[in-house]
Amino acid sequence: MESFVAIDVETTGLSPARGARVIEIAAVKVVRGQVTAELCSLIQIGVPVSAATTRVHGITTAMLAGQPTPGEIWPQFLWFIEHHPIVAHNAPFDMRFAHSELQRLGLSMTNPSHCTLKIGRRKYPRLPSHKLEYLARHVLGKLPPGIQLHRALGDAHLTAMVWEEMNNALLGENN
């Protein structure tokens, strides 16, 4: 794949059907193996973030004050991703939330999506865990320095690296 956009969302819960919302979005555009652009924003949703949610990713209600609203950031997200395929770790989760947030605004996206979790489980079935950080350690050899796990931008960058490395490995196997 010549170009793609790796995305990650941080949310207030596990299901948009139960009222959970996206409070951080990141997208990393990769063209011919090089990161060419990134988009990252906290999102002010107008409701408090629970302590349990904050324990997962460290995002607090205070951090969201003054940040862009969904109506400001999601149109930017659509402009950013353009027609590029989307890559995410546990893509059904991220895509479900993205579609839900876009639908609230009367917007939609039709980009194809690919899942590093699904491919990782198929390619490396014996790994004890297929969480992003474990899959990354296995595929990349170690976690890159400076990557902040469980925050959208760090996870989007890590997803892009894992995707690139898994694709390179698959191409190598087919030659």
Mean pLDDT, range 89-111, rounded to an integer: 98
With 60 as the cut, is the pLDDT of residue 141 above it? yes
Catalytic positions are 150
Structural contact between residues 134 and 107, judged by C-beta atoms closer than 8 angstroms: no
* CATH domain 3-173 topology: Nucleotidyltransferase; domain 5 (3.30.420)
Greatest CA separation for the chain: 53
Q: What angle do CA 156, 158, 161 make, to 5 degrees?
A: 110
> 151-160 pLDDT, tens per residue?
999 999 999 9
Provide the 10 A C-beta neighbour count for residue 105.
13
pLDDT for 173: 60
Mean pLDDT, range 5-11, rounded to an integer: 98
Prediction pTM value: 0.94
> 40-93 pLDDT, tens per residue?
999 999 999 999 999 999 999 999 999 999 999 999 999 999 999 999 999 999
Q: Rounded distance, CA 26 to CA 19, Å?
A: 21
Q: Domain ranges for the chain, please list them.
A: 3-173
Residue 33 CA, chain-centre distance (Å), reads: 18
**Sorting pLDDT into bands at 50, 70 and 90, what band is 175?**
very low
Mean pLDDT, range 139-143, rounded to an integer: 95
